[in-house]
Amino acid sequence: MRIKEICSRAVAVAARSTSLREAAHLMREHHVGALVVIDTKEGVARPVGMLTDRDIVVEVVAATGADPDTLTVGEVMSGEPATVAEDLGVFEAVEVMCDRAVRRLPVVAADGRLVGIITLDDLLRVLSTELAGLSAALQRAGRREVQRRAPLGKSL
């Protein structure tokens, strides 16, 4: 299964110049814990960072002297985000998440433009559905074998 088949195409985004307060409002409005930070050039949005609710809490709220009203997304975001190509498979996305220790990946087209986002929750949902299907297949195979085999000592 390819990432483009399961990723969300609705992505909450912010520019580097967005105020931190506005970013928090965007997270609340879109019911998300992260924004993909983008640079837009010639109408094409490319991911350049990620801003999470944890970034805001740890880097700003818990920091002595940090004023959230004067900071921008670009000052707090994590730069150089891990991304995943839309044509990659689920297991490759899992590998990227593990390697980079992240829970969300912007999904990009071959030219680097942002096309979606895939989250750990999305991948868990897909993988758990596939595992449930495998489990059901094993159960059916066991029942079928019992039905087809004659008890020992009896001929067919």
> What pLDDT does 7 receive?
94
What secondary structure does DSSP assign to 1-23, as a single string? -BHHHHSBS---EEETTSBHHHH
Q: What is the pLDDT of residue 152?
A: 74
The neighbouring-strand residues paired with 89 are 2
Q: Residue 123 is encoded by which pair of tokens? A: 């991948």
Q: Domains in the chain, ordered, with CATH?
A: 3-118 (3.10.580.10)
Burial class (CB in 10 A: 0-12, 13-18, 19+), 149: exposed
Quick one: pLDDT at residue 85?
Answer: 97
| Spans of the chain, pLDDT less than 50 | none
Per-residue confidence (pLDDT) for residue 156, from 0 to 100: 56
Q: How far apart are CA 105 and CA 96, in angstroms?
A: 9
What's the token pair of residue 34? 């992260």
Encoding tokens for residue 145?
A: 């074998």
Q: Are strands 13-15 and 34-41 parallel, antiparallel or unpaired?
A: parallel
Laid out side by side, the sheet with 44-52 consists of 13-15, 34-41, 44-52, 78-79
For residue 96, how many other CB atoms are within 10 A of its CB? 17
What pLDDT does 154 receive? Answer: 65
Contact 34, 26 (CB under 8 A): no
pTM of the model: 0.81
Residue 153 — φ and ψ, nearest 5°? 90, -10
pLDDT of residue 116: 97
Strand partners, 124: none
So what's the pLDDT on residue 44?
A: 93
